[in-house]
Structure 1
Amino acid sequence: MKKRLLARVALGALLVLPAALRAQDMLQGVDLSQPSYSQSEMSRADVEGALKAGKRDFSGKSLNGLDLSGLDFSGANFRAARLNKTRLSGAVLDGVILDQAWLLQADLTGASLKGVHAFAAQMQKMRADGADFTGARVAGDLSGASLRGAKFNDANLSADMKNQSMGLMRAVLRSAVLEGAQFRSANLMSADLRFARASGADFSRANLMNADASGADFVGAVFTKAMTKDLDLDSAQIDASAEQALESAQHLDRARRQ
């Protein structure tokens, strides 16, 4: 009886795990050399013309590699669009829909993304230093992204517990550069912060409950009035002075002090 029960538990884990992995590992099996992921079907002039004509629906478009820096895309729809290696530095993307969009190695340095909605977006190795994500909803993959000095104040990067059809969707900031970034009053519940470089980042009043920050660098980070219950700090680097603010975190005894 016990063996049958263990077998059922193991089988259940095997059935659930692949779905969770598929949730954000959309790169697996995708040929990024295909034209739809590596070329553009429009020129910058075409995009500017569309904006001047009041057309802001770029859903499903391939705009890879274009230089669209400085353009105002406020309220535009980029759902499932491909923007790999696209330059959007200094662009205005306030209120834009980026659900299921691809922005691999895109450059959004200094861009404004206030209130942007990015669900299941692929933003690995994106460069968005100094970008403003204030009030944004981000449940996508930003692994290896450069976000130095970026603002995520009042943003929601937490796990989506309502829609589980694709598995657990949350902000993945694994190995991301978050030095000096602002997460004031942001929701990072269950977010993936493993090995993130977040020295000097501001997490004041942020919700970090159940987030995984194993191996992360939090030297000089601020956790004033942050919610840190079950935040995993296994092998993370912290300041000894931050211990009180992190007292409800998991594996605090395994964190390395500076």
Structure 2
Amino acid sequence: MIVRWLKKQLHRQFRPSPSHQSHHCLNNEQFQSQYAAGKRDFSHKTLIDVDLQGIPLRGMDFRYADLRMLRDLHRENIDLTHADLTGAILSGVNLSHLDFSHTILCDADLEATNFSGACLDAANLANAHLQNAELKQAYGLGVNFYRGNLQGANLEHADLGEANFSKANLRDSNLAWANLNRANLSDANLAGANVNYADLEASNPEQARLYNASITGVRLPLGVYVTTKRRSALQRFQGGESEMESG
């Protein structure tokens, strides 16, 4: 009896109150009220049916917020540029053709997110989780994918010149016809990736891991020959283009 009474007391002491349980969830009315009162820190919140139309996100803090249930972001007057979305949860969300210029998406959960046709100019996606994400025809100069996980992602026809893919996981990804001119591929894992007809001119593909990658018709820097037989190999050849078979 005493043991049972102690368990009840401990349960009452440490059980979250109903108000505490809903503390991290905000509906549109609550969000708009707090925003109007000057609040700009919405980190670690779950935003449910929140309307961001007409609200400048620059300078606002959405770090580690769950943004999967926001209202449609494709309407006019929704500006996602320069926003801090570090660690935000946007997995599976349709973000196609939106502008993420200078947006911070470090460590964000973007698995299976649709970025097709999106603008990623100078966006920071370091350590982002982009497994199976759709980035077909996404574009942007100087995007940072450092240590990002893009396994199985589709970057076909993406225009990502000067992107940083250093130490990124691109296993089994699709980079066919992508423009990665001047991209940093240092220690990037491209094992099993489709890099057919991609433009890697002025980049450093010899420093990437290309085991079993498909690199037919890939455009390489002058004098660079990459073999998929080993983790990384560099040889010299004449000309700036080559058609090679993976083996």
Fold shared, TM-score > 0.5 on shorter chain: yes
Q: Does 1:48 align with 2:43?
A: no
Task: Output the CA distance in 1 between the equivalents of 2:123 and 2:223.
Answer: 24
Shift of the alpha carbon at 1:245? Answer: 6.5
Q: Does 1:115 align with 2:122?
A: yes
Matched letter for residue 244 of structure 1: F
Equivalent of 1:155 in 163, 167, 170 = 163
Shift of the alpha carbon at 1:93? Answer: 0.2
| Structure 2 gap segments, 5+ residues each | 1-24, 26-44
Specify the alignment match of 2:237 in structure 1: 244
Equivalent of 2:152 in 137, 144, 152 = 144
Aligned length: 193
Specify the alignment match of 1:91 in structure 2: 98
Specify the alignment match of 1:196 in structure 2: 193
Give the 5 Å matches for 1:186-225: 186-225=183-222
Specify the alignment match of 1:69 in structure 2: 74
Partners of 1:152 and 1:181 within 8 A in 2: yes
Shift of the alpha carbon at 1:200? Answer: 1.1
Shift of the alpha carbon at 1:118? Answer: 1.3
Matched letter for residue 203 of structure 1: L
Task: Output the CA distance in 1 between the equivalents of 2:197 and 2:63.
Answer: 37
Partners of 1:179 and 1:198 within 8 A in 2: yes
Partners of 1:50 and 1:56 within 8 A in 2: no
Q: Between Structure 1 and Structure 2, whose CA radius of gyration is higher? A: 2
Equivalent of 1:57 in 45, 55, 61 = 61
Deviation per residue, 1:85-137 (Å, 9 max, x gap):
11111100001111111001101110000101112110100001100132111
Aligned-residue CA RMSD in angstroms?
A: 3.0
Higher relative contact order, structure no. (Cα contacts within 8 Å, ≥ 6 residues apart): 1
Q: Does 1:234 align with 2:229?
A: yes
Shift of the alpha carbon at 1:51? Answer: 3.0
Local SS of the residue matching 1:48 = coil
Partners of 1:75 and 1:94 within 8 A in 2: yes
Partners of 1:157 and 1:189 within 8 A in 2: yes
Partners of 1:107 and 1:128 within 8 A in 2: yes
CA distance 1:225–1:215, shift in 2 (3 Å): same
Specify the alignment match of 1:23 in structure 2: none
Task: Output the CA distance in 2 between the equivalents of 1:179 and 1:147.
Answer: 7
Partners of 2:224 and 2:237 within 8 A in 1: no
CA distance 1:57–1:127, shift in 2 (3 Å): same
Task: Output the CA distance in 2 between the equivalents of 1:245 and 1:62.
Answer: 52
Shift of the alpha carbon at 1:235? Answer: 7.8
Deviation per residue, 1:184-235 (Å, 9 max, x gap):
011101101011111111000111233111111111111033766xx66128
CA distance 1:77–1:232, shift in 2 (3 Å): farther
Partners of 2:55 and 2:79 within 8 A in 1: no
Task: Output the CA distance in 2 between the equivalents of 1:223 and 1:75.
Answer: 33
CA distance 1:233–1:245, shift in 2 (3 Å): farther
Local SS of the residue matching 2:125 = strand
| Structure 1 gap segments, 5+ residues each | 1-34, 159-169, 237-241, 247-252
TM-score, normalised by the number of residues in structure 2: 0.69
TM-score, normalised by the number of residues in structure 1: 0.66
